[in-house]
Structure 1
Amino acid sequence: MAAEYATFGLAPATRAGGVHADGDFRIHRDFMDFVVDGRPLLFRLCDLDAVSPLASDVPPAIFTAQVRSLLLETDAPLPGGRYVIYGCPECADLACGAVTAVILRDGDDFVWRDFAWQTGDHADLEFNGYHGIGPYRFPGAEYRAALAALLDAPGHPRRRVLLIGARVALLARLAAALRTIGIGADITHDARDVPADELRTYGAVAFGRAVTDEQRTTVRRAFADAGVEVPHVDGLAPIVAVLVAQIEHALDRLPAERRRLTRLTATRAAADVEVTSPCRVRLTAYRLDRLHRTHVREVFDGLLAPGGHRIALDAGAVRGDTFLVARTPGSVLVTAVTRGTPG
């Protein structure tokens, strides 16, 4: 198949982390995604939890080597001129599986072709090829400019959140969970004592439910005096997994067109979910009973087409104070379950 011309670009992307009820977790990763004809390439792979090699948390020398590899300034890392386009977000081990493609020069152009899922040294295009993706021909000047710009760009700041609340034990568990998935977290009772330079390193502020309006105003004023605007997260429930999901969403600064999951509302009858591209969506219900014990149930796990979807909910999973967390490979949303009409 002849490769048709396509535009090439790069855009920030996120692999949302998370903490599960069983104590397991998934690492938060920030990376640069490949944008082909104005659309993230990862969105064409509907059920893939992966990141590109251009991740913000890799050492600078390795990041530079990845960029130069994609520019074909070094030999291909895999046989047959194949390069890793997306890999495992946890360990980057080829054995976990990766999307690879042949990258080559054709005159001044760069061509990406023969996309495949690969778990060893050699790709089987017949059984594991992505036959609906590519080939793509990128104009050389545009391709080189997009990648070369990464070598001069400053590094991504570490994601950090400031936690403010009265329940010290809960805040400590929340901070530990956030650090586990790669998000820095600090606890304080009075942001006025935090130096302005340090306040500027935070991407969000999370308030516990017991924080007073006066305390919130003081914190907002401290950030305003430091010349920085950050989203404020009002904790929905004293459930670590729910709070982590709220903070993950607050730290996601991607525009709506770069997100897969754009809307979530829920009643005790149904949840309304909207996605921008084909993807796998998981809905998990977290419920507090009268003794403030947490109950967790996965209420949906499946592939959804672009657009809005109404998903029926089991009444037994959402009675009482219930909170719904929706996750895709790159987005997370949280909502409280209401008694009203969905939508």
Structure 2
Amino acid sequence: MSAEYATFGLAPAMRAGGVLADGARQAHRDFVDFVVDGRPLLFRLADLDAVSPLASDVPPAIFTAHVRGLLLEAEPPLRDGRHVIYGCPECESLECGAVTAVIERAGDDYVWRDFAWQTSDHADLALNGYHGMGPFRFRGGEYREQLGRLLTGDDPGAERRRALLIGARVALLARLAAALRGIGIGAEIAADAADVPAEELRTYGAVVFGRAVPERVRRGVLDAFERAGVEAAQVDGLAPIVPLLVAQTECALDRGSVRRRRLARLAVADGAAVARVTSPCRVRLTAYRVDRLRRPRVHEVLDEVLEPGEHRVPLPGGAPYVVARTSDSVLVAAAPG
């Protein structure tokens, strides 16, 4: 085993939810990711849609049990000293598959080794091991300090995962609210913020405005948030298309560091989407437009693993709106003008 040390840290992360092109819904999950040598560990797994066991929506007792397990203050949940590092974002079943590793002490240090994809009680390293990943040796003081913060309530993944919807088209807002709630984001509808108590405004991470909302109403809502002492991300709806508005809201609620995103940039130019990727990952590009009869049109234009760099993808029919998704982020772009 290499004696070289790796740094250990934690950072807020999310599994991007949304309404997909085929109508399926994907749950939004906020969690704490592991940062090894300054880079999220999940980024080493290019095509994996998963979350760490340190998710913000699990009960406190279960969250604490996971932390104590990583600190080796409790028995490992799996055979052979193995712990779940990343699991299914929709459920906690091992049958769906999980990335596991052996965690052990080496003097005062902690070592993560023998990473594998596991779907049963036994991990077959020869068949499903992540060869070349690890072992990682962490200094005990740094490791315990980082994980110990979670036990004292200092959770870097804690965020305000609610949106306030303001607009004139109540039927559209009702569909948007239902879609957001369906993927795990709280949503309420209001005409303005005049009668919303300050303590409630402090629970919202984003405010979504319909295109027909007058400027005076927008200003009044934003002033109410300012008086409440909270900064909410402002979302200006691009078009009356629910999946597009859901993606805009997801993007606004993502407070993770831009430096730690695999999908770094998205733009629409000259009838094409331009996406910049910082590490290998699966990217889905969906184009949206409204036809002459004001009906929403959806086109799935890309779904594949992209290598780092800039990628240009032609858009069908000059669609003006594009949503790009990776497992951990969502970006939305509109054509100029």
With structure 1 as the length reference, what TM-score do the two structures score? 0.94
- Residues 254-282 of structure 1, C-alpha deviations (whole Å, 9 max, x = no match): 12112221211113532110122211110
Matched with 1:11 is 11
Matched with 1:318 is 317
* C-alpha separation in 1, matches of 2:83 and 2:131: 17
- Residues 147-177 of structure 1, C-alpha deviations (whole Å, 9 max, x = no match): 1110002563551110000000000000000
Kindly tell me the number of residue pairs found equivalent between the two proteins: 335
The SS at the match of 1:80 is helix
* C-alpha separation in 1, matches of 2:270 and 2:301: 12
Matched with 1:189 is 191
* C-alpha separation in 2, matches of 1:144 and 1:169: 50
Letter in 2 for 1:218: G
Q: Which runs of 4+ in 1 moved over 4 A?
A: none
Matched with 1:59 is 59
Matched with 1:76 is 76
Matched with 2:329 is 331
Matched with 2:308 is 306
* C-alpha separation in 1, matches of 2:297 and 2:172: 17
Q: Is the 8 A contact 1:117 1:129 kept in 2?
A: yes
- CA shift in 2, pair 1:216/1:51, >3 Å: same
* C-alpha separation in 1, matches of 2:54 and 2:47: 20
Matched with 2:35 is 35
With structure 2 as the length reference, what TM-score do the two structures score? 0.96
Letter in 2 for 1:30: D
- Residues 268-303 of structure 1, C-alpha deviations (whole Å, 9 max, x = no match): 532110122211110011221111112212101111
Matched with 2:46 is 46
* C-alpha separation in 1, matches of 2:166 and 2:146: 40
Q: Is the 8 A contact 1:158 1:183 kept in 2?
A: no
- CA shift in 2, pair 1:331/1:318, >3 Å: farther
Unaligned runs of 5+ in 1: none
Letter in 1 for 2:106: D
Per-residue deviation at 1:80? 1.1
Letter in 1 for 2:332: V
The SS at the match of 1:4 is coil
Matched with 1:92 is 92
Letter in 2 for 1:256: V
Letter in 2 for 1:222: A
The SS at the match of 2:53 is coil
Letter in 2 for 1:234: D
Larger mean CA deviation between 257-266 and 160-169 belongs to 257-266
- Residues 94-130 of structure 1, C-alpha deviations (whole Å, 9 max, x = no match): 1111100011111111100010111111111112111
Q: Is the 8 A contact 1:160 1:201 kept in 2?
A: yes
The SS at the match of 1:174 is helix
The SS at the match of 2:78 is coil
The SS at the match of 2:320 is strand
Matches within 5 A, 1:227-266: 227-266=229-268
Letter in 2 for 1:152: T
- CA shift in 2, pair 1:3/1:45, >3 Å: farther
Larger mean CA deviation between 70-79 and 265-274 belongs to 265-274
Q: Is the 8 A contact 1:7 1:38 kept in 2?
A: yes
Per-residue deviation at 1:3? 5.2
Per-residue deviation at 1:2? 2.9
* C-alpha separation in 2, matches of 1:130 and 1:115: 5
Per-residue deviation at 1:251? 0.5
Larger mean CA deviation between 203-212 and 145-154 belongs to 145-154
Larger mean CA deviation between 220-229 and 161-170 belongs to 220-229
* C-alpha separation in 2, matches of 1:298 and 1:263: 19
* C-alpha separation in 1, matches of 2:123 and 2:270: 47
1:166 corresponds to 2:171: no
Larger mean CA deviation between 70-79 and 243-252 belongs to 70-79
* C-alpha separation in 1, matches of 2:326 and 2:229: 33
